Amino acid sequence: MKQEYIITVYSENHIGMLSRITLVFTRRKINIDSLTVSESAIEGIFKFTIVIKSTPDLIVKVVGQIEKQIDVLKAFYHTNDEMIYQEIALYKVATEALYENDTIEKIVRNAGARILEITREYTVIEKTGHKTETQELFFELNKFKVMQFIRSGRVALTRDPIERLSEFLKERDAVLEQID
Protein backbone atom coordinates (compact mmCIF):
# COMPACT_ATOMS: atom_id res chain seq x y z
CA MET A 1 0.00 0.00 0.00
CA LYS A 2 1.22 3.44 -0.95
CA GLN A 3 1.35 6.19 1.63
CA GLU A 4 2.91 9.60 1.97
CA TYR A 5 6.54 9.77 3.06
CA ILE A 6 8.73 12.70 3.90
CA ILE A 7 12.29 12.29 2.72
CA THR A 8 14.92 14.55 4.24
CA VAL A 9 18.21 14.79 2.39
CA TYR A 10 21.29 16.55 3.68
CA SER A 11 23.82 17.40 1.01
CA GLU A 12 26.88 19.43 0.31
CA ASN A 13 26.14 22.73 -1.38
CA HIS A 14 27.18 21.67 -4.87
CA ILE A 15 25.74 22.67 -8.20
CA GLY A 16 23.65 19.92 -9.72
CA MET A 17 22.64 18.29 -6.44
CA LEU A 18 18.96 18.89 -7.06
CA SER A 19 19.24 17.15 -10.45
CA ARG A 20 21.14 14.22 -9.00
CA ILE A 21 18.52 13.74 -6.33
CA THR A 22 15.49 14.14 -8.55
CA LEU A 23 16.98 11.72 -11.10
CA VAL A 24 16.45 8.93 -8.59
CA PHE A 25 12.72 9.63 -8.72
CA THR A 26 12.60 10.25 -12.47
CA ARG A 27 14.21 6.87 -13.16
CA ARG A 28 11.50 5.07 -11.27
CA LYS A 29 8.73 7.33 -12.54
CA ILE A 30 7.89 8.59 -9.07
CA ASN A 31 6.08 11.90 -8.85
CA ILE A 32 7.39 14.45 -6.36
CA ASP A 33 4.41 15.91 -4.50
CA SER A 34 6.34 18.64 -2.78
CA LEU A 35 9.92 19.84 -2.60
CA THR A 36 11.65 22.38 -0.38
CA VAL A 37 15.35 23.19 -0.44
CA SER A 38 17.17 25.46 1.95
CA GLU A 39 20.35 25.76 3.94
CA SER A 40 20.28 23.71 7.12
CA ALA A 41 21.31 24.81 10.61
CA ILE A 42 24.81 23.71 9.72
CA GLU A 43 26.49 26.18 7.42
CA GLY A 44 27.20 24.86 3.94
CA ILE A 45 24.91 21.86 4.28
CA PHE A 46 21.64 21.96 2.43
CA LYS A 47 18.45 20.26 3.39
CA PHE A 48 15.94 18.90 0.91
CA THR A 49 12.47 18.01 2.11
CA ILE A 50 10.71 15.85 -0.43
CA VAL A 51 7.23 14.40 -0.23
CA ILE A 52 6.35 11.37 -2.32
CA LYS A 53 3.88 8.53 -2.22
CA SER A 54 5.49 5.15 -1.92
CA THR A 55 5.25 1.67 -0.51
CA PRO A 56 7.37 0.78 2.55
CA ASP A 57 9.43 -1.49 0.32
CA LEU A 58 10.19 1.08 -2.34
CA ILE A 59 10.98 3.98 -0.04
CA VAL A 60 13.98 2.11 1.39
CA LYS A 61 15.43 1.56 -2.07
CA VAL A 62 14.82 5.11 -3.20
CA VAL A 63 16.42 6.60 -0.10
CA GLY A 64 19.35 4.18 -0.48
CA GLN A 65 19.91 5.34 -4.03
CA ILE A 66 19.76 8.99 -2.97
CA GLU A 67 22.23 8.40 -0.19
CA LYS A 68 24.54 6.72 -2.69
CA GLN A 69 25.11 10.04 -4.45
CA ILE A 70 28.61 11.14 -3.56
CA ASP A 71 27.71 14.62 -2.30
CA VAL A 72 24.76 13.47 -0.22
CA LEU A 73 25.63 13.26 3.45
CA LYS A 74 22.57 11.47 4.68
CA ALA A 75 18.98 10.80 3.75
CA PHE A 76 16.15 9.91 6.14
CA TYR A 77 12.57 8.99 5.49
CA HIS A 78 9.56 9.27 7.75
CA THR A 79 5.87 8.81 7.61
CA ASN A 80 3.79 11.91 8.23
CA ASP A 81 2.91 10.97 11.81
CA GLU A 82 6.60 10.75 12.68
CA MET A 83 7.18 14.39 11.85
CA ILE A 84 5.93 17.84 12.62
CA TYR A 85 5.36 19.52 9.32
CA GLN A 86 3.81 22.58 7.81
CA GLU A 87 3.19 24.29 4.54
CA ILE A 88 2.49 27.95 4.06
CA ALA A 89 -0.19 29.29 1.75
CA LEU A 90 -0.91 32.83 0.54
CA TYR A 91 -4.31 33.93 -0.76
CA LYS A 92 -5.13 37.14 -2.52
CA VAL A 93 -8.71 38.37 -2.35
CA ALA A 94 -10.32 41.61 -3.41
CA THR A 95 -10.31 44.10 -0.53
CA GLU A 96 -13.83 45.08 -1.49
CA ALA A 97 -15.06 41.62 -0.55
CA LEU A 98 -13.73 42.18 2.94
CA TYR A 99 -15.75 45.35 3.41
CA GLU A 100 -19.02 43.98 2.15
CA ASN A 101 -19.54 41.87 5.27
CA ASP A 102 -17.45 40.30 8.01
CA THR A 103 -17.54 36.70 6.72
CA ILE A 104 -14.01 36.75 5.37
CA GLU A 105 -12.66 38.14 8.58
CA LYS A 106 -14.43 35.36 10.49
CA ILE A 107 -13.08 32.72 8.14
CA VAL A 108 -9.58 34.09 8.60
CA ARG A 109 -9.90 34.17 12.35
CA ASN A 110 -11.41 30.69 12.57
CA ALA A 111 -8.73 29.22 10.34
CA GLY A 112 -5.94 30.70 12.43
CA ALA A 113 -4.79 32.59 9.35
CA ARG A 114 -3.67 36.20 9.31
CA ILE A 115 -3.80 39.17 7.08
CA LEU A 116 -0.43 40.03 5.65
CA GLU A 117 -1.10 43.10 3.57
CA ILE A 118 -4.07 45.22 2.67
CA THR A 119 -4.11 47.57 -0.29
CA ARG A 120 -6.97 49.39 -1.93
CA GLU A 121 -7.45 46.59 -4.47
CA TYR A 122 -6.43 43.41 -2.72
CA THR A 123 -5.73 41.77 0.59
CA VAL A 124 -3.20 39.01 1.13
CA ILE A 125 -3.98 36.34 3.69
CA GLU A 126 -1.44 33.90 5.05
CA LYS A 127 -2.13 30.51 6.52
CA THR A 128 0.32 27.91 7.79
CA GLY A 129 -0.81 24.32 8.18
CA HIS A 130 -1.21 20.98 6.54
CA LYS A 131 -2.32 20.80 2.97
CA THR A 132 -5.85 19.78 3.93
CA GLU A 133 -6.14 22.91 6.07
CA THR A 134 -4.74 25.34 3.54
CA GLN A 135 -6.89 23.70 0.91
CA GLU A 136 -9.96 24.06 3.04
CA LEU A 137 -9.27 27.72 3.56
CA PHE A 138 -8.89 28.09 -0.17
CA PHE A 139 -12.30 26.55 -0.60
CA GLU A 140 -13.86 28.94 1.92
CA LEU A 141 -12.19 32.04 0.56
CA ASN A 142 -12.87 31.11 -3.01
CA LYS A 143 -16.54 31.66 -2.35
CA PHE A 144 -15.48 35.32 -2.51
CA LYS A 145 -13.13 34.60 -5.39
CA VAL A 146 -9.45 34.13 -4.67
CA MET A 147 -7.49 36.19 -7.16
CA GLN A 148 -4.19 34.41 -6.58
CA PHE A 149 -3.12 31.45 -4.52
CA ILE A 150 0.23 29.83 -3.76
CA ARG A 151 1.26 27.04 -1.45
CA SER A 152 4.85 26.27 -0.48
CA GLY A 153 6.55 22.92 -0.34
CA ARG A 154 6.56 21.16 2.98
CA VAL A 155 9.00 21.83 5.80
CA ALA A 156 9.31 19.21 8.47
CA LEU A 157 11.09 18.42 11.72
CA THR A 158 11.49 15.13 13.48
CA ARG A 159 10.27 14.69 17.02
CA ASP A 160 13.84 13.92 18.14
CA PRO A 161 15.26 16.27 20.74
CA ILE A 162 18.49 16.73 18.74
CA GLU A 163 19.46 17.64 15.21
CA ARG A 164 20.15 14.21 13.77
CA LEU A 165 22.67 15.51 11.31
CA SER A 166 25.15 16.74 13.92
CA GLU A 167 25.07 13.25 15.47
CA PHE A 168 25.59 11.77 12.06
CA LEU A 169 28.53 14.03 11.25
CA LYS A 170 30.23 13.06 14.49
CA GLU A 171 29.76 9.38 13.74
CA ARG A 172 30.94 9.81 10.16
CA ASP A 173 34.11 11.54 11.31
CA ALA A 174 34.82 8.65 13.64
CA VAL A 175 34.25 6.07 10.90
CA LEU A 176 36.42 7.95 8.42
CA GLU A 177 39.17 8.08 11.03
CA GLN A 178 39.01 4.28 11.33
CA ILE A 179 39.33 3.61 7.62
CA ASP A 180 42.92 3.59 6.48
Chain residues that interact with other proteins, rule: CB under 8 A: 11-12, 15-16, 19-20, 23, 27, 60-61, 64-65, 67-68, 70-73, 169, 172-173, 175-176, 178-179
Residue 54 or 123: the one with the smaller Cβ distance to other proteins is 54
Smallest distance, Å, CB 21 to other proteins? Answer: 11
Structural contact between residues 7 and 47, judged by C-beta atoms closer than 8 angstroms? no
The CA-atom distances, in angstroms, between 26 and each of 36, 52, 105, 155 are: 17, 12, 43, 22
* Residue 118 neighbours by CB distance under 10 Å: 12
Q: How far is the CB of 165 from other proteins (least distance, A)?
A: 11
Question: Based on CB atoms, which residue is closest to other proteins, 9 or 137?
Answer: 9
Q: Which is nearer to other proteins, 12 or 102 (CB)?
A: 12
Cβ-contact 79, 101 below 8 angstroms: no
Nearest distance in Å: CB 57, other proteins? 8
Nearer to other proteins, 70 or 150 (CB): 70
CB 100 within 8 A of CB 148: no
